[in-house]
Copies of this chain bind each other. A is one copy, B any other.
């Protein structure tokens, strides 16, 4: 048995992907690791989690979240070009962060979305993973993870929605769902 930095994936259609990423960030921080969260979809993390991360960061600066990329895409082609540019900038930032060796856990939140919608290529994501320091952990989130990413990963969890309160006519609630 060896230890090494893990490549982890949270995928599936359930609510738990970002929630579990947040939990992993907290656990890692609690264990003394240095954590960076890069958001590939702006707006994916809401008030509660941004506030909580900010408060943890105030304690000792070992955790940070950086919003990058744009929001969810519409179908306009002109808009797609802007999303592509934003996603490429996000990839450059991710490379800088990952290769810096300054973090023990880097979370690439919703990067699977960027691949799925053709904003970035899966090969570029795999190349990025090749560049990570051996002991650094990386978590990639988002539904419909690419099969080549699943193949490359060490730990893959699928969060599957079995039942949702929207289906019962209950509104999303602050502190729980956002």
Where the two chains meet, the residues of A that have a C-beta atom closer than 8 Å to any C-beta of B are 1-4, 6, 8-12, 14-16, 18-33, 46-53, 55-56, 59, 104-105, 137, 150, 153-165, 168-171, 173-176
Q: Which residue of B lies closest to A49 (CB)?
A: B27
A24 contacts across to B, CB distance below 8 A:
19, 23, 176
| B27 contacts A19, C-beta separation under 8 Å | yes
A1 contacts across to B, CB distance below 8 A:
169-171
Q: Which residue of B lies closest to A176 (CB)?
A: B137
| A30 contacts B3, C-beta separation under 8 Å | no
> Complex Cα distance A80/B157, Å?
32
| B171 contacts A15, C-beta separation under 8 Å | no
Query: Shortest beta-carbon distance, A67 to chain B, in Å?
Result: 16
A165 contacts across to B, CB distance below 8 A:
6, 154-155
| A174 contacts B31, C-beta separation under 8 Å | yes
> Complex Cα distance A171/B173, Å?
38
Query: Shortest beta-carbon distance, A47 to chain B, in Å?
Result: 6
A28 contacts across to B, CB distance below 8 A:
48, 175-176
CB-CB under 8 A for A154 and B160, given A30-B50, A47-B30, A59-B55: no
